[in-house]
Chain A
Amino acid sequence: MNRLLKSCLVAATLALSNVSAHAGKDGGTLSFLVQPEPPTLASYVSTSGPIGLVMPKVYEGLFDYDNDGKMIPILAESYEMSADGKTVTFNLRKGVKWHDGKPFTSADVQFTVMDVLKKVHPRGPNSFREVSAIETPDAHTAIFKLNKPAPYMMRSFSAYESPMVPKHLLEGQDVKSAPLANNPVGTGPFKFVEWKKGQYIRLDKNEDYWLEGLPHLDRIVGRFIPDASTRTAAMENGEVLYAAYNAIPNIDAVRLKDRDDIDVTTDGYSMINPMALIEFNTKEGPFVDPAVRRAISTAIDRRFMIDTIFFGYGKPATSALSSNFKATNLHATMPNYPERGDVAKANAMLDAAGFKKNSDGVRLNGVLDIIPYGEDWRRAGEYLKQVMGDIGINLELRYEDVPTWLKRVYHRYDFQMNVNYFYQLPDPVLGVHRHYGTDQIRKGTHFVNSSRYSNPTLDALLDSGAGEPDAAKRTAAYNEIQQILANDMPVVNLFELEFLVVYNNKLKGAYDSAMGAYGSFREAYLDD
């Protein structure tokens, strides 16, 4: 009975949020900025940002998510979850065709999840780790069998996170080197036409799209412009209409938003959840004592960093988890995370922990590595050097190129303190666990537990948080996790980054998906 009731409820909510084709004008070309040029178009192998800007227009996921986090049915019309959470049945949409005319069926779903995402996708092995098998009783039903309940899995069905790919073009080949990579064939509203290296990627309207009346646009062109000032000029000139993930730097965005034809929004990043942070080496070097890390977190003026360096875009971090997890009741505000820094208190904390200042006022010497992703981070490093100086920690800054930096931090662990940012993604299991779990100390793997923090109590809590189907118990587990992390601080979160979308307001209908720029743009249209 319980199971039946639950299934009905799920089906009902999905029906309510069912797609209603947006009214909009047909025709026109949308040029938007893709920065930098993607390395390949294989979104099922790489989650690299620029690939995410392009490919969700071509490949679709089973679901999309709206700005309130509600699931929007795309290739799946609905799903039912069993009471024990270990069987999830997806009812797939009928009449959907790949761009080459072949029908989309449950076999494609089975192949995509079991043979592609679980094997070669960077995050797929994590998102679908509990999936042991997928049964396909008919062409339009896919039944996921799970070892343990995996509530987070339901947050990772977007076209960006888990694109559905055609089995008939990948089967029997090496998935990573198959020609599909740069000749993508999807089910999405736009078809891939050509990729002129160094210039643009062109997508044309899919005339046979399964939802009558969509998409509105005839064509989408993603342009690559290496120079930031030129990108801004192209936006001002109306040559490009949409720029996300800070393709237009904040310093220009605050100027452009005063124009009548250009608007700026921070929407469209809630499923990405970027968090600026400092990783510490907890095994060797000057920051092995948690007391030092707590003092550092206390001294940092997060509000100042946001207002001065990031032009007011950002929210001070209040815990190991982003405040966007309030929606699922997982976030709790923690101590040692002041919005405005308290240098006097931090000094007192260090005095109490026995770190004495020498005659030059220095307690500790250290090196701060800075993520090589642009000027803003360099300025953040300069601020940190200054404020750390105020509490007697003398920092030297180090700024290297991407491969050198990755090697240093994630291969050789040859760092002490590293400014970085992580995507926390739509669920802590997907984006946060990789930072703290003992099983996530994986030498040579990027963006995992580089601080080599290991705490069996925390590991047990992370496990129970991942598999707990009961919402209240899950909240309790994460509350405890955040308390432990606010005390030990292997990682000090700085602030929740707010990336910007800068857009020409004659482009409409592109802002409804929580995926933002990683969305399909099927309802986007030009209004002049």
Chain B
Amino acid sequence: MTQSTKIIRYVSRRVFQGVPIIIAIIVINFFLLNLAEGDAVDVLAGEAGSATPEYMAQLRAKFGLDQPLPVQLLVYLKNVLALDLGYSFRHDMPVSDLIFDRFFATGLLMTCTILLAVGFGVLLGLLAAMQLNTWKDAVITVFALITYATPLFWVGLMMIVVFSLKLGWLPTSGMENVAAFYEGWDRAKDIAVHLILPTITLSLFYLALYTRMMRASMLEQYGQDYVVTARAKGLTERRITFVHVLRNALLPVVTMAGVQVGALIGGSVIVESVFAWPGLGMLAFESLFARDLNLLLGIFMLSSILVIVVNLIVDIIYCFLDPRIEVS
């Protein structure tokens, strides 16, 4: 069997295995969410001021909330299998539209953050490991510790104070300049400018993590027998570091990045809130308080799919980084 057919078979098997996992996640989430007191109708009616019980009963019937829980679950599962994520009664829109709308913003922030955090994390970790116990190593380690220990919301607010209020270089919040409504390239540039602060804030935290991980991983590899062998062969330190050690040291970092992509969807709530970034994290957070269960289940399902897919990609990347690992 060639390597590529092996990979295809492996991927299809993993995808197949993913289906029951996702269904299990839906079922567990469904019951977990229904444990919370009150439903979407209570919240809507509460916000609206006074609403009559008849009106609320009507709404419940319309939303299907008057059915027993198992029936609601079955209806939901049936719809999901037909690729219909249901309807958000709060937003008066299909769940898939809502999620799709926000996914662009989340995807953009997530991709930029991961690239920045992993890229710079690997670079800084490498530098620190190569300059072990010099002042450079000390500076990088202290920087990583401080950014790791600082609360995200505080970093975000300080960024706004410095770069928006004091220097006036960047906008405080949002994804676009709403007074201008740019089109085409101007719009892309506008979004890029709005993206800078949230990306830096969110990646600072992860950057610290990857820096420390990369440094430790490099140091561990330096102590391995194959490095001694390479030195004995007379290879340059440069070649040993970049060809042999780096590849091996990357494995744990890649694993970690794979796990965190899933967490980033929900974990960016604070950054989305501080910078008014219209992403999925904030949407999930608000839907929880609005008891918008269809929407929440949709978001949870999306993130579980994302975690499964990213982990699959990570497993495949392993094979390329370390040919000793094979898919089977």
Contact = CB atoms under 8 A, between A and B. Distances in A.
Contacts of B178: 29, 31, 199-200, 202, 221, 223
Contacts of A400: 37
Given A29-B179, A401-B289, A199 B48 contact: no
Contacts of A31: 178-179
Contact of A198 (B44, B47, B157, B278): B278
Interface residues of A, number: 58
Contacts of A365: none
Interface string B273-310: 11110110011001001110000000000000000000
B230 interface: no
A233 B161 contact: yes
B278 A46 contact: no
A379 interface: no
A233 B160 contact: yes
A403 B164 contact: no
Given A403-B291, A406-B42, A123 B50 contact: yes
Interface in A176-217: 176-177, 181-182, 196-200, 202
Contacts, number: 170
Interface in A261-317: none
Given A39-B44, A197-B101, A223-B174, A434 B36 contact: no
Interface residues of B, number: 58
B102 interface: yes
A219 B178 CA distance: 10
A45 B172 contact: no
Contacts of B51: 122, 445-446
Contacts of A423: 49
Contacts of A224: 276
A197 B102 contact: yes
B174 A444 contact: no
B52 interface: yes
Contacts of A181: 92
A328 interface: no
A233 B278 contact: no
B177 to A, nearest CB: 9
A39 B164 contact: no
B209 to A, nearest CB: 24
B45 interface: yes
B50 A444 contact: no
Contact of B44 (A46, A202, A219, A445): A46
Nearest to B47: A48
A403 B43 contact: yes
A125 B172 CA distance: 44
A345 B153 CA distance: 47
B105 interface: yes
Interface stretch (A64-72, A234-242, A390-398, A475-483): A234-242
Contacts of A36: 286
Given A122-B50, A233-B160, A402-B289, A446 B276 contact: no
Contacts of B165: 233, 236-237
Given A39-B91, A233-B173, A226 B45 contact: no
Interface in A390-426: 400-404, 406-408, 411, 423
B266 to A, nearest CB: 15
Contact of B46 (A197, A223, A225, A406): A406
B273 A122 contact: no
A335 B98 CA distance: 54
Nearest to B39: A403
B244 interface: no
Nearest to B168: A237
Given A40-B92, A123-B50, A198-B278, A407 B42 contact: yes
A229 B274 CA distance: 8
Interface in B162-176: 164-165, 168, 171-176
A447 B172 contact: no
Interface string A106-131: 00000000000000101101100000
Nearest to A408: B37
A400 B289 CA distance: 11
B282 A198 contact: yes
B317 to A, nearest CB: 32
A45 B42 contact: no
B50 A448 contact: yes
Q: Which of A49, A221, A403 has most chain B Cβ within 10 Å? A: A403
Given A46-B48, A202-B178, A406-B38, A226 B102 contact: no
Contacts of A37: 286
A227 interface: yes
Contacts of A411: 42
Contact of A445 (B50, B91, B164): B50
Contact of A407 (B38, B53, B59, B105): B38
B45 A225 contact: no
Contacts of B136: none
B55 interface: yes
A471 B157 CA distance: 55
B278 A196 contact: yes
Contacts of A122: 45, 48-51
A229 B278 contact: no
Q: Which of A39, A219, A236 has most chain B Cβ within 10 Å? A: A39
B278 A197 contact: yes
Contacts of A136: none
A445 B53 contact: yes
A230 interface: yes
Given A39-B90, A403-B42, A226 B289 contact: no
A239 B48 contact: no
Given A122-B51, A197-B278, A234 B289 contact: no
A442 interface: yes
A177 B58 CA distance: 12
Interface of A: 29, 31, 36-37, 39-40, 45-49, 120, 122-123, 125-126, 176-177, 181-182, 196-200, 202, 219, 221, 223-227, 229-230, 233-234, 236-237, 239, 400-404, 406-408, 411, 423, 434, 442-448
26 contacts: A37-B286, A39-B91, A40-B90, A47-B48, A122-B51, A126-B50, A177-B62, A181-B92, A197-B91, A197-B278, A200-B174, A223-B178, A224-B276, A225-B173, A225-B174, A227-B273, A227-B274, A230-B160, A233-B164, A233-B172, A237-B164, A239-B173, A402-B43, A403-B39, A403-B46, A444-B53
The 5 A-B residue pairs with the shortest CB-CB distance in the complex, in nearest-first order: A403-B38, A198-B278, A46-B48, A225-B276, A48-B47
Interface of B: 36-39, 42-53, 55-56, 58-59, 62, 90-93, 98, 101-102, 105, 153, 157, 160-161, 164-165, 168, 171-176, 178-179, 181, 272-276, 278-279, 282-283, 286, 289-291
Given A198-B105, A233-B157, A233-B161, 5 more contacts: A37-B286, A122-B49, A126-B50, A197-B98, A402-B46
